[in-house]
């Protein structure tokens, strides 16, 4: 039965809605909300109905679905590149565009935000324009990331700083 559900979702909504890492009932719910009721209809992958995504065409989402957690805000207008197996918690804001400090109605072009693979962005974290996070960077809940960090680190605080070095990421081969 699940194979039929995933086939129908792939046919009517695209491959992102037929991702077996998510349970079929959850994908059906998001399909109905996005494709029929038109909540976040412009986003080509499943997202929570409370999430706001700007310029999804400029977001490279990696292997997961950013915005599946509630109340996320992803502003991809300057670009966001998310590596494979990167987890994003609830209320996370990833903001690739900033205002001009002398004229608030103007935006400043910037490099895209780059988040490496096997990262974890904790609840309520904020990542600002132009930031580059290396592979296996863990961002603690509530952190505000305003500068680049190399991989294999735990960062926390406002502004974020390295709390400790981490060993390399070790996948357990289980379900993400």
d(CA 148, CA 62): 19
Rounded mean pLDDT of 56-85? Answer: 96
Q: Return the SS3 of 13.
A: helix
Catalytic residue among 30, 42, 48, 99: 99
15 and 65 co-located in one domain: no
56 and 143 co-located in one domain: yes
Tokens of 82: 């998310």
The tens digit of pLDDT for each residue in 40-70 reads 999 999 999 999 999 999 999 999 999 999 9
Q: What is the DSSP string of 65-113?
A: -TT-STT-EEE-TT-EEE-TT-EE-TT-EEE--EEETTEEEEEE--PPE
Domain housing 6: 1-46
DSSP letter assigned to residue 131: -
pTM of the entire structure? 0.87
Residue 167 has pLDDT above 80, yes or no: yes
User: Would residue 136 show up in a list of annotated catalytic residues for this protein?
Assistant: no
The confidence band for 174, taking pLDDT boundaries of 50, 70 and 90, is very low
42 and 71 co-located in one domain: no
Domain assignment present for residue 137? The answer is: yes
The tens digit of pLDDT for each residue in 96-136 reads 999 999 999 999 999 999 999 999 999 999 999 999 999 99
**Rounded to the nearest 5°, which phi and psi values hold at 164?**
-165, 160
């Amino acid at each position: 039965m699940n194979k039929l559900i995933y086939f129908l979702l792939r046919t009517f909504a695209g491959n992102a809605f037929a991702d077996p890492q998510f349970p079929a009932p959850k994908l059906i719910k998001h399909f109905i909300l996005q494709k029929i009721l038109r909540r976040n209809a412009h986003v080509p992958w499943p997202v929570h109905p409370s999430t706001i995504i700007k310029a999804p065409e400029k977001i490279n989402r990696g292997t997961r679905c950013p915005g599946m957690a509630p109340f996320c805000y992803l502003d991809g207008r300057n670009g966001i590149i998310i590596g494979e197996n990167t987890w994003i918690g609830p209320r996370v804001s990833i903001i690739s565009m900033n205002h001009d400090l002398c004229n608030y109605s103007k935006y400043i072009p910037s490099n895209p935000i780059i988040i490496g693979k096997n990262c974890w962005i904790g609840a309520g974290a904020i990542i600002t324009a132009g930031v580059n996070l290396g592979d296996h960077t863990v961002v603690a809940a509530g952190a505000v990331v305003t500068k680049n960090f190399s991989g294999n680190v735990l960062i926390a605080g406002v502004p974020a700083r390295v709390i400790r070095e981490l060993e390399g990421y070790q996948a357990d081969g289980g379900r993400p």
